[in-house]
Amino acid sequence: PRARRLVFASLRSGGRVALYQADPRGRGYSRLLRPAGRVRGAQNWSPLGDRLVFGYRKTIREEEYVFRIGVQDIAGRRSELVQPASDSTAVPSPPGTKIALTRRTGGHASLFVINADGSGARRLTAGRAPQWTPSGQTIVFMRGGEVRTIAADGTGERRLAIGLDPTLSPDG
């Protein structure tokens, strides 16, 4: 598919990071949103391109903060998903009905899946850096220097390889 919009984080708005959109050649940019916290990591489009999922750090008190997952639709409506995350990885599933994210539980990174509206959080396993396979049935993730997979329902975990930072091709 051809890209119609480019979204990027920038300090253009008075020293605070905001998300901007532009055409794929970088022209005609405008501020899309300024989250209630510091944008962290990548922004990911839903499969239909109608929503943008992003992670951000929200300060509670000085030196105390939480990570949150935000969703912005192309009509300009934004929501903060109440499910906290422990890093900036929030990835919508290919059908757009679920979001995979990483959250700290007991001091360790855990892989969670939530519904696209932020409800129904379910811990799958220990791990981080989730990516959905194109079918939306399986998640590829990292744990302890290993590339692993697990079914979206939390079953069938297995090690694929020793390595870091896997990237899946769009064709599976």
Torsion angle of C-alpha atoms 167, 79, 58, 40, degrees rounded to 10: 20
Structure tokens at 42: 């990548």
Q: How open is the CA angle 35-108-133, to the nearest 5 degrees?
A: 70
138: buried, middle or exposed (CB in 10 Å: 19+, 13-18, 0-12)? middle
What's residue 70's pLDDT? Answer: 65
- In this prediction the pTM is 0.72
Q: Strand order of the sheet with strand 51-61?
A: 38-45, 51-61, 64-73, 78-85
Q: Look up residue 139 and give its DSSP letter.
A: E
Q: How would residue 8 be classed by pLDDT, with cut points 50, 70 and 90?
A: confident
List pLDDT tens digits, range 44-97: 777 777 777 776 666 665 555 555 666 666 666 666 555 555 555 678 888 888
